[in-house]
Structure 1
Amino acid sequence: MRRRQRRALTAGVLATALAAAGLTASPADAQEKPAATVTGPRGTFTLITGDRVSVDAGGHPRIERGPGRARMRFVSSHEGGHQYVIPVDAMPMLRDGRLDRRLFDLTALGEFGYDDRTAELPLLVAYPENAAARARSAAGAARVRTDLPAAHALAVRAGLDDRVELWSSLTRGTSSTRTLAAGITHVWLDGKRRVSLDRSVPQIGAPTAWQAGFDGDGVTVGVLDTGIDADHPDFAGQIAAIHDFTGGNDPGDTVGHGTHVASTIVGSGAASGGRYRGVAPGAKLVVGKVCATTECQDSDIIAGMQWAAPQAKVINLSLGDTDTPALDPLETAVQDLSHRYGTLFVVAAGNEGKPKSVSTPASADDALAVAAVDPDDQRAYFSSRGPRVGDNHIKPEISAPGVDIVAAAPGGGYAPMSGTSMATPHVVGSAAILAGRHPDWSGAQLKAALMGSAKPADADSLYDQGAGRVDVGRAVAQPVAAEVAAIDFPVQRWPHADDTPFSRVIGYRNTGTAPVSLSLSVTPAPAGMITVSPATLVVPAGGRAEATVTVDTRVEATDGLYPGAVTATGAGDLRVRTPFALNREIESYDVQLDHTGRDGRPATEYETVAANLSTGEFTTLVGEPGGGTMRLPKGRYALYSTIHEGDVSTLLVQPVLDVRGPLTEALDARTARPVSLTVPQRDAAALSINVSANWNDNFRYPGVQLSGVSVADVFFGRIGPAVAAPEFAATLGVGLARPGRDGTFRNSPYTYDLAYVRQGDMFTGLTRKLSPKNLATVKTTYRSQSSTATATRFHRAASPGGPGPIGSSTSFDLPFHATEYYNTDGGIVWTSTFVEGDNLTTQESTFQAGKTYHQTWNVAPFGPTVAQPPAWSPLGYVGRDGDTISVVSPPLFGDASGRPASRDDLQVHYRLSRNGKEIATADGSYVDFPVPADKATYRLEATVTRGAPDTLSTSVSVAWTFTSAHTSKPEPLPLTTARPTPALDDTNTARAGRAMTIPVALDRHPGSAAAPNRTLGVSASFDDGRTWVALPVLHGAALIKHPRRPGFVSLRMTATDTAGNTVTQTIQRAYRIA
């Protein structure tokens, strides 16, 4: 069995499924407000190592090293649509397959909701057999939730502040040689899986089996899902056992998925007069609730599996997640329990719809992976396709109806659902019927018989439907079955003129009372490539017989994958098909990669990746001493390698490796060079260095970044000679500052941020001597507004039309004055981010070398702004597309300089009215409101509050009115925001008892029909909004007289443009007076 790793319940196309889960009658006059769709932004992730990674809206990571890890280096990469940030001390265990790569997959962690808004990180800590106590000790401060013997693992939970200690407890050794502690074999992320009959039951031949006397009677099946409505009439007398593994002590089903699945298997159809009868109504049911919602914790699923396996002959798992070539905990549990109890796990293939997307644990060797078909036996468009990632094993293996399946819903009714989740119980019910026919058969025998009797689809459909659509009527009726479910032939390497023929034996067993004569054939395959003998085979009554399948890939034929089947036919329409897959390798070559460390010795700690620039497929080589060989199809590749030795890491890159024959590449760390920089301040020291390689194709292909804290830690260079690589760019970012006595850079009076981009080639080190004439100087003031009085600034660069590196990150006490130096090579654009507590403010800047600039940050009042919408949004911050009004996280705490600011931790409350009547409300950052097509007047209100440690802008609200009708394309809506700019000191304070003017700028929503302003009104409150005073306004400025007592000033502004659009915004505690 291969090494494999990952999860989601797989009810695909659940838009209709979940909407219909509560399909009950409503009064004809019942009206509901349209639902608003809400999504959330990306956030901050504290890794298992204790290091913290923050991801901005552009997907750029910022790393804060954990306590005691100040010198740790990191490798960041984009692979297969996922973003990874991996500390170097985790790489030896990742290389050995002992550590789950998802622990450093920011994309997966975000999808699972495992960012820092979740207090605990769920883990599975695996141990050798009978060594749970030792593993429990190694888990240290982490909370042990449960023991899972089926996976030989403890389910533990690591708090945000416990992870550095846990990492030290679970692992041993130095950075480049770190291993798991004694008594620990693996550490996995406790991920999540997602829940992925009147026509469909006859479609698979179940009534034929019933007529023969087999309906699952005497067989127990298991359903591990979202629970069950045990009071539904269709389950009367059929539930043998039920248990909740989610910690809620309530096995009921609030989602509807588990009830639907169970009904498809055993439902009696009592509530429908028998119309929606399940496949095996005579079977009994054990139900484990392993999903409290549509998401299911791995540890809960495993607990349910080990509970159900001793009781059930067949178990339904309509759940899954993205598969990788490594073995993950659920796949391990499937294999272990299948072998221990002879149980057959039938698992949904998934709903991704694309090649190589079959999910785990359907990907496990012993699982029966189920695809979905429509009523015409055609593959459902959403059904995941094979082959299995990593080894091209046949997956999915069988198909069943999965489109618009009507089955029981909570509450006593029925609902239609679509997905491979719905196809899977059809196969489970079929297996139960077959088990009733052959009670002594193992799960493996049931799998082979179901696949062998399936109705075949088109000749090229093996990786779409497996053996074909399940046909339980045929499975029950046929006396002969194959002993293997499928044949996986080994890869035949290119070229093929010298290939050696080989053979495999396939056995057939006859459970009947008379001998059966079989005619054997192979389809489809080029003449002579795959043959079977003898052509006629007699299988004795109650006995078995064997045939030999011979493969000879020397024949003239096109290279590539050949799916097919060995078909045995006999009298009375007997047919047994055994599918196979043969990979006659396309033109490919060995690429020898020799790795040498900086000490001249063969390197052992490295990871090397070749990414095909045409297909996006990755091939990885890790940790073989001195190197190894990659087998690569002919083509162009991105090649990069990180080599780690003690406290030093090296990044080597070949932007384009053209594979047209056998190659040997020397990846010698000694050819790489460091950064050497000279700046005017002699006490400056490096605080960060980031070097990256980027292939500019919207992240389809890899980007890799090596991050360190010292120029002595990081080396980089090109592999081999320069080649033409227009799609490639290398970036280098270095930050410098003055270290304090404690060795940190906190309160450094200056910083240098230096960014360099090289298009078409890789840097091999970099040397620069810098002076004020080739740098921009920015005199910066950072004001204070909260009681925390501390902040962090960090910088990122971008080159015009291309990528840019990450710069420095430093902390300081507020208020603070600093001098910041930036290079301007190649028109670099700098994005600066200021973080005070949970408040994050950003600004893009371009500078000219030799010039001095002045900037002031954290300037009150903080309020709404629509002045700088994200470039990626055609709707701006608020817009309309067709008949949907969308809110795209408008900043409600922008500073008085006009910079947008965000608060990911706060819920914004939105209220939408149409022609004076409220039509929808929502809480979130990103909201979609469906609206009628005709023209109307709308009022959109947004309100948000924040508390300690923030002392200013504690409550902000804005209300816009505008007219809108159906649009033919995305259009920003005509909004305006008011931006008051009073003169305040470094603590955002004005003098009590004094009069002053408050200029008010009005910012129109770019790209919208917002018109010039016509009226402006300003009011102030000195008692937190209990009473308001209208202020005189002249030439866009309000005149205010502060009371003598210290306190706060709140502001309310109203404006109307010449088109009649209005805005009213209120800022509680806009600034302080003293």
Structure 2
Amino acid sequence: MSLGGILASALLASTITVAPPPDRPATSTTTGAATGAVTLITGDRVVVTGGNVQVEPGPGRQTGFARQVIEGHLHVIPFDARPLLAQGVLDRRLFDVTQLLQWRYGDADRPDIPMITQSVDVPGTRRLAGLGMSTLRVSKKNAAQTWKDLTGGGARALAAGKAKLWLDGLRPWTLDKSVKQIGATEAWKQGMTGKGVTVAVLDSGYDPDHPDLKGVVAHERNFSDEPDIRDNLGHGTHVASIVAGAGEQYRGVAPGAQLAIGKIGGRAGASDSAILAGMEWAATEIKAKVVNLSLGGPDTPELDPIEQAVNTLSERTGTLFVIAAGNSGGQFPVSSPASADAALSVGAVGDDDQIAGFSSKGPREGDHAIKPDLTAPGVAIMAAQAGGTHVEYSGTSMAAPHVAGAAAIMAQRHPGWTGRQLKAALMGSATPTPGARPYEQGTGRVDLVRALAQQVVAEPANVWAAFPWDGQGERVSTKTITYTNSGDASVTLDLSTQGGEVLKLSAQRLEVPAGGTASVTLTIDATGKAPGDYPGVVTATSGQGEIRTLAGAYVEPESYDLTISAVGREDDVPFVFAQLYDPETGAVRTPVFQGGTARIRLPEGRWNLYADIAESGSLTITHATVRIDDGDQQITLDARQGRPASFTVDDPAATPRKVVDLAMRFGKWSIAWRAFDLDPTREVYAVPTREAGLSYQLRSVWDSTSGSLYDLVDHRTGGLPADMGQRARRAELAEVEATFLASGVAAQGRPYFTPRLDDELGGGLYATLQRDVTLPGTATYYRTPGLTWDSAWVTSTSRVWDAGKVIKRGRTKEVWNAAVTGPSFAQPNGTRTGDELSFDAGRLFADGVEGRTGADDAATGTATLTRDGRTIAETAPAGCRSKPCLLTAALPSEQGRYTLTTSMRRQVPDTALSSTVESAWTFTSANTPEARPLPLFAVRYAPSGLDSFNRARPGTVTRVPVRVERNPGAPQAKVKSLRLEMSSDDGASWLPLPSIPTGSGWTASVPNPRTAGFVSLRVTATDTSGTTVKQTVIRAYSVS
């Protein structure tokens, strides 16, 4: 199907909506994603606040939104992007809100969205001519228009079938005795030092002043956003010196090689666009024989742009790309781009040649091919450190440059060889680790002594076959392995296979003539074999040693085709979005519909099928169970079987908003979506079905001319009933009378409320904006009782949220924005895991109501951790929206006394209070076997008698209840001393305040000044565990 056709189908998703008005509501849902705001490539804006996620449609946008949590990451996907994702045209990371915020692509961090494009010609692109790609930075202000240009008008900007849009993502950075371990010192004795060979190191730059790199670097270029080539991380300097360092004590593997340093990133990692530009420079301009990449990111079955570039440049230029396999151990497979076919993928071993526990292993995603290709030393490697010293690091980042250096030495020996030949020689001569499988070590640990000695090279170095399930049919593939003899004497090879029960050779002995070649046929026969992986090695043995070639097969699990057909209520060809999922694992497959039909191949077993069928006058929800076994199957989704999903309210003054929310959950799968501004003439239907494990929430919001708002939820388990919806009576609802106070000045804010599903799997509904509220103000809300509701209060910069609570039938009251705003431990904050400490210094602005947490995006300041007076870590956050002001530190294992100090200031138009909030905690901590909360506590105030602006009258006395809030999960301790003070001159001078103990804390009486101004509060407290806190709030409340 052409891109134009895909996009035409995408528009069907929005035929059920109309353009949002200027005061359109936002949406939200429960999630564990990082706090922050991010604009999507579609121009829609996602704001994560505590337990809520608001989605604000971009200008003129006519679509709904689906959200899911996939592998712990929150995704928010506009309806009109779903067909493009299903076709593989769009990168899913463009809608991965969690990843975007973690990479600091949020709105507080940058004004644009970095992209990589293929076959897309729009203004502002920068071409990577050698790769057929371009880079593009889309202004967030113009993102909605750019999206329209890319996808509108028959997809003029996207060439049908060839165009792709990727997020320009980030990839994290993944010596003395190790050089000898791989045989480099023996190579030097033969005069083989890599002389005359250029090795490009694409990394975090280098230290030009380091003695080990003096005279070694012949070329350099900065592709990063940092101002110069200097290494501010230390990673690139370390890697470069392993390749070709010229130090007296710590020499690199190939000290005679020349280095080309391409700086492609800094502390956060390297952007995809910088990696691509560096690769193109190294391979085509510098003409480096070897390129080292000690970085990587998650691999997928699809070919990403970096993998594609590795394969393309390797083929076109003959450059060998040596790439670190990754440091995920057995948790995730080999990372990308080490997963590329042409890459020489390097795992890590220790000085005993045993596989390092952190080294990523195979199989490769998708076809299950063998990766890594080989291993090299990567544990406790001593090499150059930025700043002129040396440091010991571990990782496959250290293993890869050992192999890059070895490749340079081999290139000196064989100057006419291509990168493919160098790869084959190094793999074929590797020394295997006994007991390790090919998926752990490839052919083994790189061995320069053997590589230089062996005259015969086998190609290809990795032979693999993947067989689809075909019952008991024949599964046979034949491959040819060619042995090339570069020596002046013939070599006899004895051939055998190891570990691969599916491998059969056409000969057991082969004569390879001097200067010639000889070939053997390898038959990979998996006929009758059970589904699974069959990795092995073909070994060719001669008097010179062994030549090892990776080989094997993958047999797909028993699988069949499922054909899905959709029948609409009124449209001949409706738009269908569907997901097939495994409720036990949460695995999801997305079929692609063309003309109302889709075909997808699935492994045997039980699959659940969710689908929504969008038409010009309706939206129909369906859910079914599909059993895949013993043959292809068909299923029909018939929207005509749907029953209305509707709500009513016994308030004649109430009318429904044109918004529909739906959330569904089954096992580990969940989905939630919102259709914005649904025309009242268009109906929502659900096809009734009984499913014991299926839960759903359907939501409708109603406005009343009386000013009240109804928030109604139908929440049931057991399938989709014929009477989906709710007939609500006001007397049976929860009535919430909300009061919103002002912080000394008139302002506006927005409350959000989210009904939560009965688990934490991320399937919660979006939250509805409950109209802007002018401060001070009041509002009345009627909600469905018996559910847990998450609530949030948002102003132009600040956010306050609670941890969720069950609201019961009847009348309750809520107060928002009550003084004193300050630090809170209503939710956990501050942990130590082993020797790693983390603390979010942005959570210093919760209102005075118990159970609340808060932050202000405009706040600036510092957070510092010291141990025995010495600074361990420090951060200077400049806004906390998508920079969560997170302080992290590596600590000594032994017990010590620490002081954690935070100081945050804010000057914003919507508040005159809590202008400066400071805290200093002193506590004892030591190594912990698991994550444990730090023993911290905050002192909270709740002044009584303040007016709606949080003001006290001059010359009066304000009663202030005081309580302590401990970090949840921290050891219990009692406060043994507490000293309160007040100031009426913004902290220039302080007066002591007497306090009276009560059952739940203390009470202080504050004499307010006789003239208008502010009262500041300071407290010093110590508990029985030895933790002390000194906490200051300047302008806690006002006097007027």
TM-score bucket of the superposed structures, by smaller chain: 0.7 to 0.9
Amino acid at match of 1:774: E
Residues 1:675 and 2:634 aligned together? no
Shift of 1:312: 0.6
The structure-2 alpha-carbon separation of the partners of 1:759 and 1:102, relative to structure 1 and needing over 3 Å to count, comes to same
* Greater mean deviation of Cα atoms: 752-761 or 87-96: 752-761
Structure-to-structure mapping, 1:626-637, within 5 angstroms: 626-637=596-607
Q: What secondary structure does 2:266 align onto? A: coil
1:298 aligned onto 2:272: yes
CA distance in 2, matches of 1:256, 1:929: 17
Aligned with 1:352: secondary structure? coil
* 2:673 matched residue in structure 1: 706
Q: Structure 2 residue aligned with 1:156, among 88, 111, 136?
A: 136
Please state if 1:1072 is matched with 2:1038. yes
Per-residue displacement from partner, 1:349-374 (whole Å, max 9, x unpaired)? Answer: 11111265211111222212111122
After superposing the two structures, state which structure 1 stretch, 1029-1038 or 291-300, moved more: 1029-1038
Determine if the alignment matches structure 1 residue 45 to structure 2 residue 38: yes
Query: Residues 906-929 of structure 1: CA distance to partner in whole angstroms, max 9, x if unpaired?
Result: 3564567889x6876744455669
Q: Deviations over 1:310-352 (max 9, x none)?
A: 3211111111111222222222322222222111111111111
Q: 2:774 aligns with which of 803, 811, 814?
A: 814
- AA aligned opposite 1:499: E
Is 2:542 aligned against 1:567? no
Is 1:958–1:1066's contact at 8 Å kept on the other side of the alignment?
A: yes
Deviation of the 1:959 alpha carbon: 5.1
**Partner of 1:83: helix, strand, or coil?**
strand
Q: Distance in 2 between matches of 1:640 and 1:126?
A: 32
Instruction: Quote the offset at 1:304 in angstroms.
Output: 1.4
Distance 1:121 1:864, change over 3 A: same
Equivalent residue runs for 1:484-563 within 5 Å: 484-496=460-472, 498-499=473-474, 501-526=476-501, 529-555=502-528, 557-563=529-535
Question: Which range moves more in the overlay, 590-599 or 105-114?
Answer: 590-599
Does the CA contact (< 8 Å) of 2:975 and 2:1021 recur in 1?
Answer: no
Shift, 1:677, TM fit: 0.7
2:690 maps to amino acid:
A
Alignment of 1:602-621 (within 5 A): 606-611=577-582, 613-614=584-585, 616-621=586-591
Aligned twin of 1:241: 219
Q: Secondary structure at the match of 1:814?
A: strand
C-alpha displacement of 1:600? 5.8
1:749 equivalent in alignment to 2:707: yes
Q: 1:716 to 1:356 in 2, by over 3 A?
A: farther
Equivalent of 1:260, from 222, 226, 238? 238
Alignment counterpart, residue 623 of structure 1, candidates 585, 593, 604: 593
The one-letter code matched in structure 2 to 1:271 is E
SS in structure 1 at match of 2:412: helix
What is the aligned partner in structure 2 of residue 80 from structure 1?
A: 71
Compared CA separation, residues 318 and 230, structure 1 to 2 (3 A): same
**Equivalent residues of 2:580, 2:607 under 8 A apart:** no
CA distance in 1, matches of 2:784, 2:409: 73
3-state secondary structure, aligned to 2:582: strand
2:757 equivalent to 1:785 = no
CA distance in 2, matches of 1:278, 1:1032: 69
Alignment match, 1:285: 259
Counterpart CA distance in 1 for 2:923 and 2:241 is 50
Counterpart CA distance in 2 for 1:229 and 1:305 is: 21
Report the alpha carbon displacement of residue 718 of structure 1 after superposing the two structures with TM. Answer: 6.2
Shift of 1:62: 2.4
CA contact (8 A) 1:503 1:548 kept: yes
* Structure 2 match to 1:25: none
User: Residues 903 and 491 from structure 1, CA distance in 2 versus in 1: closer, same or farther, beyond 3 angstroms?
Assistant: same
Which residue of structure 1 aligns with residue 57 of structure 2? 65
Q: Residue in 1 aligned with 2:90?
A: 99
Q: CA deviation at 1:960?
A: 5.9
CA distance in 2, matches of 1:313, 1:935: 51
Structure 1 residues 182 and 914: CA distance shift in structure 2, 3 A: closer
Q: 2:236 is matched by which residue type in structure 1?
A: G
Distance (Å, rounded) in 2 between the aligned partners of 1:123 and 1:576: 45
Which stretch of the first structure deviates more once superposed, 771-780 or 975-984?
Answer: 975-984
Superimposed CA distance per residue, residues 457-494 of structure 1 (whole angstroms, 9 cap, x where no aligned partner) = 45761221222222232223222222312112131424
Q: CA deviation at 1:103?
A: 0.7
Aligned to 2:660: 689
Question: Pick from 588, 593, 597: which aligns with 2:559?
Answer: 588
Does the residue aligned with 1:621 lie in a helix, a strand or coil? coil
Q: Deviations over 1:891-943 (max 9, x none)?
A: 5333233352321533564567889x68767444556695897797x876543
Q: Is the 8 A contact 2:443 2:548 kept in 1?
A: yes
| Structure 1: gaps of 5 or more residues | 1-38, 740-747
Residues in 2 aligned to 1:853 and 1:411: alpha-carbon distance in whole angstroms: 63
CA distance in 2, matches of 1:885, 1:314: 39
CA RMSD of aligned residues (A): 3.6
Offset, 1:73: 0.7
Matching residue within 396, 399, 405 for 2:381: 405
**In 2, Cα distance between equivalents of 1:447 and 1:502:** 24
**2:483–2:512 Cα contact (<8 Å) kept:** yes
Amino acid at match of 2:650: P
Residue pair 1:655, 1:761 contacting (<8 A) in 2 also: no
Amino acid at match of 2:665: N
- Native 8 Å contact 2:916 2:1034 kept in 1: yes
Q: Where does 1:67-466 land on structure 2 (aligned, <5 Å)?
A: 67-69=59-61, 71-128=62-119, 134-135=121-122, 137=123, 139=124, 146-173=126-153, 180-181=157-158, 185-268=163-246, 270-272=247-249, 276-310=250-284, 311-354=287-330, 356-457=332-433, 461-466=437-442
In 1: Cα distance, 2:831 partner to 2:228 partner: 43
Q: Report the equivalent of 1:579.
A: 550
What secondary structure, in the 3-state scheme, does the structure 2 residue paired with 1:622 have?
Answer: coil
| Per-residue deviation, 1:951 | 1.3
Q: 1:908 to 1:40 in 2, by over 3 A?
A: farther
The sequence identity of aligned pairs, in percent, is 38
In structure 1, distance between residues paired with 2:169 and 2:459: 35
Contact 1:674–1:711, Cα closer than 8 Å, also in 2: no
Alpha-carbon distance in 2 for matches of 1:218, 1:389: 37
Q: How does 1:852-863 map to 2 (within 5 A)?
A: 852-863=811-822
Q: Which residue of 1 aligns with 2:946?
A: 984
Cα 1:645–1:318 change in 2 (3 A) is farther
How far residue 751 of structure 1 moved from its aligned partner, in angstroms, is 1.9
Task: Map residues 827-976 of structure 1 onto 2, 5 A cutoff.
Answer: 827-843=786-802, 844-849=804-809, 851-866=810-825, 868=826, 870=827, 873=828, 877=829, 887=839, 891-903=843-855, 905=857, 906=859, 909-910=862-863, 922-923=874-875, 924-925=885-886, 930=891, 942-949=902-909, 950-958=911-919, 970=932, 973=935, 975=937
Contact preservation (8 Å) 1:371, 1:399: yes
The TM-score with structure 2 as length reference comes to: 0.86
| SS at structure 2 position matched to 1:811 | coil
Contact 2:540 2:546 in 1 (8 A): yes
Q: TM-score, normalised by structure 1?
A: 0.83
Aligned to 1:20: none
Contact 1:862/1:1070 (CA < 8 Å) preserved in 2? yes
Conserved 8 A contact 1:53-1:61: yes
Which residue is equivalent to 1:12? none
Q: Which residue of 1 aligns with 2:27?
A: none
